[in-house]
Amino acid sequence: MKDIFKKIITAIITWEAKRVIKKYRPHIVAVTGNVGKTSTKDALYAALRRAYFVRKSEKSYNSEIGVPIAILDVPNAWVNPIRWARNILEGLRLIFLKNHYPKWLILEVGADRPGDIAGISAWLRPDIVVVTKIGDVPTHVEFFPSAEAVVREKGKLVEALAPEGLLVLDMDSPHTMSLAKKTSARIVTYGFAPEAHFIASHPETLYDKEGVPEGISFKVNHGTRCVPVRIKGTVGQHHAYPVLAAIAVSVSEGTNLVSAAQWIEEEYVPPVGRLRILKGQNESIILDDTYNASPSAVQAALGALESVKGKRKIVVLGDMMELGKHSVSEHEKVGETVADIASIFFAVGPRMKAAADRAREKGLKTVELFSDSREASGALRAILKAGDIVLIKGSQSMRMERAVEQIMLGPERRKELLVRQEEEWLSR
């Protein structure tokens, strides 16, 4: 019954979204990939909103139901029929009444299984497509057995581009770059690779007067020009990628490089749960990366932790889900990296046991295994000291944000600072 209800709602709001696009003809920027979609979407919004009337999809609404929601600018009503009725009425108002609709839409487009993007791109005709990193081990591996399968699915969005459109690709990702052959549209690349059109260089972690990390800085190089960019509230050089993608689009649409960089620096705030820097109890620092976890994202987070100065580095990792046959080997790789970086490793969940075992084998002395995030947070609170840097990450279903809540200063601000604070999530 629930599935039938979802199909009916999806069909109705998709029809409405099609009609809205046909009526208002907005300039559509579609963002896809495996890693960094939401951050890229938010950076694009920061880079474009001063020059255009722009709307972005909220949170990570990127599915067959999430994309129409973003186009209609209505909330996710979950399983509430009354709220969905209101959403449908709002869609009808947009269709039949005169409205002040955005000139630009920035939409995140994802895929849980083959056919998801093909279904969306059949009616969503983007003017610009941005493809972020596609990892070697795909997410949702039970449906996507290989990175090549993911590439084929993401490629459906690229194929929907008109010849006069723009394709923006992460040059440091070979799988992403393979999509270049799927279109005759203009192609712009970004990354740390010197061959890219927009190049990041000289990444650094920023610290306050007390030596607490407060952000990152890097340089953006384009042609003969170079501008510095500072991003507050996060760490890790991989945060350069969303900024590069946003600058690439903005400059390609006519903004000068200096203005694009300045607007992002002033407007862009990394999404919650993406390596956000939070103050923890006992003068500790939390790197909150709890939105989700894939092998490439976990390795990037560990790299960020390695780059940050701290007395002790504590890693709290929940299971990486949906890895199928790759699960044990990828968790073991994580354990190897943790052993090289961390002073203490708290592994959470049955899959992360493989990481814990490998970390011990490599000589890390303090390794503990917990069944869930709440159990881990209790043990974590007991050992926190001033100067500790704590990285917390895991797949959505592990609910690692609960561990962050238990050790952060000002837990009353959790709805502002943490992921998955909607009533629907909190009730689970």
Q: What is the pLDDT of residues 278-300, one digit of tens each?
A: 999 999 999 999 999 999 999 99
The vertex-136 CA angle with 134 and 138, nearest 5°, equals: 70
Identical fold at 2-267 and 276-426? no
Q: How far is CA 61 from CA 56, 271, 308, in A?
A: 10, 13, 32
**Segment among 17-26, 70-79, 241-250, 384-393 with least mean pLDDT:** 70-79
Write down the pLDDT at residue 140. Answer: 59
Write down the pLDDT at residue 134. Answer: 92
Write down the pLDDT at residue 237. Answer: 95
pLDDT(221) > 70: yes
* Dihedral angle sign, alpha carbons of residues 361, 364, 368, 374: negative
The pTM assigned to this predicted structure is 0.94
Q: What are the two backbone dihedrals, phi and then psi, of residue 361, each rounded to the nearest 5 degrees?
A: -60, -35
Neighbouring CB atoms inside 10 A of 217's CB total 16
Q: Residue 161 carries which side chain, given as an amino acid letter? A: L
Going edge to edge, which strands form the sheet with 388-393? 276-279, 285-289, 388-393, 312-318, 344-348, 366-370
Instruction: Please give the radius of gyration of the chain, using alpha carbons only, rounded to the nearest integer.
Output: 21
Only one residue has tokens 């972690």, namely 205
For residues 420 and 400, give the distance between their C-alpha atoms in angstroms, rounded to a whole number: 10
pLDDT(142) > 70: no
239 pLDDT band (50/70/90 cuts)? very high
For residues 301 and 313, give the distance between their C-alpha atoms in angstroms, rounded to a whole number: 12
* Dihedral angle sign, alpha carbons of residues 419, 423, 427, 428: negative
Given the candidates 3.30.1660.40, 3.10.580.10, 3.40.1190.10, 3.40.1410.10, the CATH classification of the domain at 2-267 is 3.40.1190.10
Write down the pLDDT at residue 60. Answer: 81
Burial class (CB in 10 A: 0-12, 13-18, 19+), 321: buried
β-partners of residue 9 are: none
150 pLDDT band (50/70/90 cuts)? confident
pLDDT(137) > 90: no
- CATH 3.90.1170.40 at 276-426, yes or no: no
Q: Spell out the domain ranges in the chain.
A: 2-267, 276-426
Short-list 264, 258, 252, CA closest to 215: 264
